[in-house]
């Protein structure tokens, strides 16, 4: 695996919003078959970096490249799963319809979704164990169920890269476990996965590679190597973290 060239790369990447710097000097390689966790405090630039990788924000300096080619916008092989708070969950649409919208870009605008499309969407819902709620309205879902629908919609795309913004936030343990299983399964099929999180223990358990971010990259490497007291203090500031327990989790 490690001999493969990285699928996504960042080269001296910087992002400014209205002259305020959100990201600077980011150099990064994202590999296939690997789960990369982006960690950092609020405002560290995790969401910003994910959006750059998704081609949704053009970098102010430097570049993000997909298979060596500079990204100039969203790419069909890169799937982005937004933060749950980005969505108007009161909108009157069913789980199945919401999932099907993941296919909208590649289907004829004149015809309704085909029976095959619906079967594919149902399979994706089955993969995230949401098929029994296919006809439910999205406003009837719990946070964990919302996350599952997002994931199902992303699965339809079958992309090389999956970017997720805080998929584990506000989600119960069974859903977290299901998510980990699913990400692991995708990883074994060679998908590159990048997700943002605040949960160090979660990252230690799940990720192969961790990137500690606070405007720039403070440290990167395997969670076991980089989750050290001084590094975490530099990333997060003065918060108290039990590093020993984290390293135990990482080692197990």
Ligand X SMILES: Nc1ncnc2c1ncn2[C@@H]1O[C@H](COP(=O)(O)OP(=O)(O)OP(=O)(O)O)[C@@H](O)[C@H]1O
Closest CA to 9 of 37, 24, 29: 29
- Which residue from 60, 77, 83, 169 is in contact with another protein, where contact means CB under 8 A? 83
122: contact with another protein by CB under 8 A: no
In 31-89, where do the E strands start and end? Answer: 35-39, 61-66, 69-70, 78-81
Smallest gap, in angstroms, from Cβ of residue 58 to another protein?
A: 12
* By the rule CB under 5 A, 48 interacts with Mg ion: no
The number of residues that bind ligand X (CB under 6 A) is 11
The DSSP secondary-structure symbol of 215 reads S
- CB–CB of 202/45 below 8 Å? no
CB-side exposure of 127: number of CA atoms within 13 Å?
24
Q: Residue 22 binds which entry of ligand X, Mg ion, another protein, none, with Cβ cut-offs from 5 to 8 Å by kind?
A: ligand X
Burial 100-139 (b: 16+ CB within 10 A, else e): bebbeeeeeeeeebeeebbebbbebbebbebbebbeebbe
Binding mask 153-192 for another protein (x = CB under 8 A): x--------------------x------------------
* 43 touches ligand X (CB under 6 A): yes
Nearer to another protein, 144 or 167 (CB): 144
Chain residues 185-244 in contact with another protein, contact rule CB under 8 A: none
The dihedral built from the CA positions of residue 155, 157, 29 and 46, taken in this order, carries a sign that is negative
118 is an interface residue for another protein by CB under 8 A: no
44 binds ligand X (CB under 6 A): yes
Contact predicate 66/8, CB 8 Å: yes
Q: Which of 67, 132, 184, 221 binds another protein (CB under 8 A)?
A: 132
| Residue placing its CB nearer to another protein in the complex, 175 or 206 | 175
> Rounded to whole angstroms, how far apart are CA atoms 100 and 36?
27
Question: Near ligand X by CB under 6 A, which window of 43-51, 149-157, 217-225, 232-240?
Answer: 43-51
Instruction: Supply the minimum distance, in Å, between the C-beta of residue 98 and another protein.
Output: 8
Question: Which residue from 9, 24, 30, 63 is spatially nearest to 194, judged by alpha carbons?
Answer: 30
**Crossing angle for the helix pair 115-127 and 143-157, nearest 10 degrees?**
130
Q: Could you give the CA distance from residue 45 to residue 39 in angstroms, rounded to a whole number?
A: 9
Give the nearest distance from C-beta 18 to ligand X in angstroms.
Answer: 6
Q: Which residues bind ligand X (CB under 6 A)?
A: 17-18, 22, 40, 42-48
Q: Which residues bind another protein (CB under 8 A)?
A: 54-56, 73-74, 76, 79-83, 86-89, 91-94, 97-98, 101-102, 104-105, 109-110, 129, 131-133, 136-137, 139-142, 144-145, 153, 174
Q: Which residues bind Mg ion (CB under 5 A)?
A: 47
């Amino acid at each position: 695996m490690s001999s493969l060239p990285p699928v996504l790369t960042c080269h001296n990447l910087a992002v400014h919003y209205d002259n305020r710097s959100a990201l600077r000097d980011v150099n990064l390689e994202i590999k296939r078959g690997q789960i990369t966790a982006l960690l950092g405090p609020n405002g560290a630039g995790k969401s910003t970096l994910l959006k750059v990788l998704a081609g949704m924000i053009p970098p102010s300096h430097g570049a993000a490249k997909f298979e060596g080619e500079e990204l100039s916008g969203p790419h069909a092989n890169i799937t982005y799963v937004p933060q749950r708070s980005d969505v108007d969950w009161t909108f009157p649409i069913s789980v199945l319809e919401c999932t099907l919208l993941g296919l909208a870009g590649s289907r004829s605008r004149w015809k309704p979704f085909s029976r095959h499309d619906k079967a594919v969407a149902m399979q994706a819902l089955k993969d995230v164990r949401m098929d029994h709620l296919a006809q439910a309205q999205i406003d009837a879902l719990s946070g964990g169920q919302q996350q599952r629908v997002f994931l199902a919609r992303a699965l339809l795309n079958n992309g090389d890269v999956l970017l997720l913004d805080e998929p584990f936030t506000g989600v119960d343990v069974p859903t977290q476990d299901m998510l980990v299983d699913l990400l692991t399964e995708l990883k074994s099929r060679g998908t590159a996965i990048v997700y943002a999180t605040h949960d160090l223990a979660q990252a230690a358990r799940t990720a192969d590679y961790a990137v500690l971010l606070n405007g720039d990259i403070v440290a990167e490497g395997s969670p076991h190597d980089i989750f050290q007291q001084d590094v975490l203090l530099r990333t997060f500031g003065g918060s108290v973290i039990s590093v020993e327990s984290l390293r135990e989790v990482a080692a197990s």
